[in-house]
Homo-oligomer: A and B are copies of this chain.
Amino acid sequence: MKQDLDALMTERQLDALMVVKEGHDPNMPISYLTGGASLGRALLIKRRGSDPVLICGAFEREEAAKCGLETHIFGEFDPAGIREAAKDDPVKMQALLWHRLFDEYGVTGCVGFYGSSNPAQSFHVLTMLTQMRGDFEVAIEPDTDIFLAAARTKDADELARLIDVGRRTSAVVGETLDFLKGHAVKNQTLTWADGAPLCIGDVKRFVRARLLEHDLEDSEGMIFAQGASAGVPHSAGEDGDPVRLGAPIVFDLFPREIGGGYFHDMTRTWCLGHAPDAVQEAYEHVMEAFNAVRPAFKVGAKCAAYQEMVCDVFERHGHQTIRQDETILEGYIHSLGHGIGLNIHEAPRFSHRAPDDIIEIGNVFTVEPGLYYPDRGFGVRIEDSVYVDADGAVKSLTDFPKDLVIPVS
């Protein structure tokens, strides 16, 4: 949780955190600490034991002030003098600004840097800054950086938002199913009233509009993939393909609150009208895996153990799994789940690559077993997101039936 940041800084021996934000895309460390101010270029500095300080452009001072943090504008730090001293060299300009800010806010010691920036610019600026001042070093952090480590457990306000986003996302999936069922069938495809085929692009357009009605946005690009395309986990689906009966549709929806906020993540696999035997069988194996782990989640247990359980189920039914061979493209080829929050991928991870991750109170994560056979023309994935409540009970954020076969008329 956010209030763990100082303790995590001590644990990681970090004396200060510096977060950079360059574009308008909501950038997790900044939005985590500001509560979602709509900012362009901005910096945030936090020393251990002190509140964060936000620095933004003069045009965004009103947006920034809403977040309640101590806020300054870049103009307070002598940009004209810096520009002149740097002779407009962008590397030197940034290094001189940061030099000045480090002085102003007493940044020394082991400093973590977060956010996203051009790699060459970062390399040159931090090299120059290291040469300019001997009183700090650039921290090396693991993949799960301090913000992701803090966000591993959600506080009550965050949980309330995640519950609500889950409810709204589930509603959109229901509306989408009704939309599909409301179309007539001709030649084994869904059609519009004028007889033209209903295409995947039409469905996605409907889904986006429904999301918007629920104040959600499809910022990462939903998956509505059919047939062989459903057999490749991240294939988004072909907009021009008509929606067909009998072909498995993997519908993976992971919207967030509008303007950059909390995500939900859920997947259903549907066969309209009827399911081929192979798909029906794969679906049953996926549900068996889902039902094996779902009641078994326990606070304190290793996340990777659940990936093992799922691999056990799939291997018993003769499917290849990623546990046997990391390079396979058929069978069970990914991890069981991941945390969600202000990012679509957070900690904990349910993977043998994250052997130390354990389930904790306040975790919010996906459960998403799947089987993929692109060469046989199908894939199946079922995914709910769940949270661990204050009593350690694991509750679902996703409220929608998991049926494979959808009757159409």
Give the interface of A toward B (CB within 8 A): 20, 22, 24-25, 38, 40, 57-63, 75, 79-80, 90-91, 112-120, 122-127, 138-143, 145, 205, 208-209, 212-213, 215, 217, 219-221, 229, 232-236, 258-259, 326-327, 329, 333-334, 344
Known: A127-B127, A212-B212, A232-B62. A221 touches B116 (CB 8 A): no
CA distance A25 to B235 in the complex (A): 16
Decide: A113 and B117 in contact? CB cutoff 8 A: no
Known: A38-B221, A120-B113. A232 touches B24 (CB 8 A): no
CA distance A117 to B20 in the complex (A): 11
* 9 cross-chain pairs, A with B, having the tightest CB-CB distances, nearest first: A116-B116, A119-B122, A59-B234, A113-B120, A122-B122, A123-B126, A113-B119, A59-B233, A24-B220
Question: What residues of chain B lie closer than 8 Å to A259, measured between beta carbons?
Answer: 221
Partner of A119, one of B117, B142, B215: B117
CA distance A63 to B119 in the complex (A): 25
Decide: A232 and B59 in contact? CB cutoff 8 A: yes
Known: A138-B124, A235-B63. A116 touches B113 (CB 8 A): no
Known: A24-B221, A113-B118. A229 touches B62 (CB 8 A): yes
Decide: A123 and B116 in contact? CB cutoff 8 A: no
- Report the minimum CB–CB distance from A45 to chain B (whole Å): 13
Known: A58-B329, A91-B140, A221-B24. A40 touches B120 (CB 8 A): no
- Report the minimum CB–CB distance from A94 to chain B (whole Å): 10
Decide: A119 and B115 in contact? CB cutoff 8 A: yes
Known: A62-B235, A90-B143, A205-B212. A119 touches B124 (CB 8 A): no
Decide: A115 and B113 in contact? CB cutoff 8 A: no
CA distance A75 to B333 in the complex (A): 13
CA distance A117 to B115 in the complex (A): 7
